[in-house]
Structure 1
Amino acid sequence: MTMHLPVRPVWTCAGCGQVWPCLTRKRQLLAEFAGARVSLMLYLTQFFVEACVDMPTTTTGTLYHRFFAWPYEPTDAPPGRKGAPPGW
């Protein structure tokens, strides 16, 4: 089981202290939900809603980007393979 879980209400990573989801957890989630993008987004939605409640002074746009934008950001893929993570 991963140690890279969110510490609430500040939403930092219990494993490394970075903002959650941290880079390690993002990589784990991509592997865990490989080929199941909708399921990953539904999973992240749960955390997004909880983070909105825990951090009411943080803008929704900031939290949206934190939880939903990273699966679509460019990866370390070779040239010509930018965009979605491998396998998506």
Structure 2
Amino acid sequence: MNKPSELTAPPRSLPAADLPRSHAGATPHTPLRPMWFCRADGQHWPCGEARLRLKAEFEDNGVGLTIYLAGMYYMAAKDLYHLNPHDGPNPTDLFRRFVGWGHHRRPIVEPR
């Protein structure tokens, strides 16, 4: 059986914050760390354009998109709380920003 520390340990490797890919010569809509703003338009990442491009890039792999976004959420939470430990971002808002908009999930209970 796993020890509690093994169950809560962070992943050994996280996805690189290098998606979505950009066209040649264009500034990519990737995060500027540790503030997590978009390199291209200065909005909170993932900006609208990054979301559209990520959806297109992971078109047939909704689970992969969710896993990628969860990794970005983990890194962003770590960075943003490190920058501002006393008044960090709201965890619910941060989850919605990074993961909540991604792959469509069915509700636990089917509507009547």
- Gaps of at least 5 residues in structure 1 are 74-88
Q: The residue matched to 1:71 in structure 2 has which SS? A: coil
Q: Where does residue 38 of structure 1 map in the other structure? A: 63
The alpha carbon displacement at 1:35 in A equals 2.2
Where do 1:1-88 residues align within 5 Å?
1-2=21-22, 3-56=28-81, 57-71=88-102
The one-letter code matched in structure 1 to 2:100 is: A
Structure with the higher fraction of residues in helix conformation: 1
Q: Deviations over 1:20-58 (max 9, x none)?
A: 001111000100111211100001111100001011111
Identity of aligned residues (%): 34
User: Is the 8 Å Cα contact of residues 32 and 38 (structure 2) preserved in structure 1?
Assistant: yes
Q: TM-score, length-normalised on structure 2?
A: 0.61
What is the RMSD computed on CA atoms of the aligned residues? 1.5
How many pairs align?
A: 73
Tell me which amino acid in the other structure corresponds to 1:53: K
After TM superposition, where is structure 1 displaced by more than 6 Å over at least 4 residues in a row?
A: none
Q: Quick check: 2:31–2:45 contact (8 Å CA) kept in 1?
A: yes
Listed as ranges, the gaps of 5+ residues in structure 2 are 1-20, 23-27, 82-87, 105-112
Q: In structure 1, what is the equivalent of residue 17 of structure 2?
A: none
Aligned counterparts of 1:8 and 1:70: Cα–Cα separation in 2 = 21
Larger Rg: 2
Instruction: Give the CA deviation at 1:72.
Output: 5.7
